[in-house]
Structure 1
Amino acid sequence: MDPDYASYAKVFKVLSDETRLQIMDMLGNEELCACELLEEFSISQPTLSYHMKLLCESGLVDSRKDGSMVKYTVNHEYLDGLKTFFKHLSNKLTV
């Protein structure tokens, strides 16, 4: 099966932002609500929402509603797909 280059390019654009990389790191092993994420940054709630929208649309992060809060987690299945893509690239480069 051929890699989905368009999807990967979108993900790399999303990850090219320092704040979004930090959010991914924070979500690495735990589910966090927007308010917990916001405490770590000097940004407004609408700015955080924008970052979370991009992360969710790219497939990197999953969200779920919990009462009045939105909780976020890393989509580990999608990350595994990225790892496979990088292994694919690495194998081509070492041959």
Structure 2
Amino acid sequence: MISVESDVLRLLADPLRAQIVSLLAREALCTCHLIEMTGAKQTNISNHLRALRKAGVVDTEPCGRFTYYRLRPDVLDELAARMTELADAARAVRADARKRPCT
């Protein structure tokens, strides 16, 4: 079973998706804005937005004949909390702690 964190991390690992998320963190944008700002083709942007929408990372807002995309900060908050938990667990393991023996 793949965790939600893994799905979101995999999505954000793509450079263009990461750029889209970064742009959407600042303001709601439509596809035409993202094409202009990234230089990517419309089909490429649309495919990435579909993947982000399916994963729940972005919400859509119809506005006339355009659709605006808005980043869902709660998804990133959950991911950040999980990463913080992992970092805290790693800090709790002392360097001189007893190690599990190899068999």
Task: Report the Cα distance in structure 2 between the residues aligned to 1:69 and 1:43, rounded to whole angstroms.
Answer: 18
- Select 1:52's aligned residue among 49, 52, 76: 49
SS in 1 for 2:38: coil
Q: Which has the higher contact order (CA 8 A, sep 6+)?
A: 1
The C-alpha deviation readout for 1:8-57, integer Å capped at 9, x for no partner, is 11111111111011111111121111111111233321111101011111
**Larger CA deviation: 57-66 vs 20-29:** 57-66
Task: Report the Cα distance in structure 2 between the residues aligned to 1:6 and 1:79, rounded to whole angstroms.
Answer: 14
Name structure 2 gaps, 5 residues minimum: 93-103
Task: Report the Cα distance in structure 2 between the residues aligned to 1:5 and 1:45, rounded to whole angstroms.
Answer: 30
Task: Give 1:64-75 correspondences, 5 Å limit.
Answer: 64-75=61-72
Q: TM-score, normalised by structure 1?
A: 0.87
The C-alpha deviation readout for 1:40-85, integer Å capped at 9, x for no partner, is 2333211111010111112221112111101011101111111111
Task: Report the Cα distance in structure 2 between the residues aligned to 1:91 and 1:70, rounded to whole angstroms.
Answer: 40
- Does 2:13 match 1:16? yes
**Larger CA deviation: 17-26 vs 34-43:** 34-43
- Does 2:58 match 1:61? yes
- Select 1:88's aligned residue among 64, 82, 85: 85
Count of matched residue pairs: 92
Task: Report the Cα distance in structure 1 between the residues aligned to 2:26 and 2:39, rounded to whole angstroms.
Answer: 23
Task: Report the Cα distance in structure 1 between the residues aligned to 2:91 and 2:18, rounded to whole angstroms.
Answer: 28
Q: TM-score, normalised by structure 2?
A: 0.81
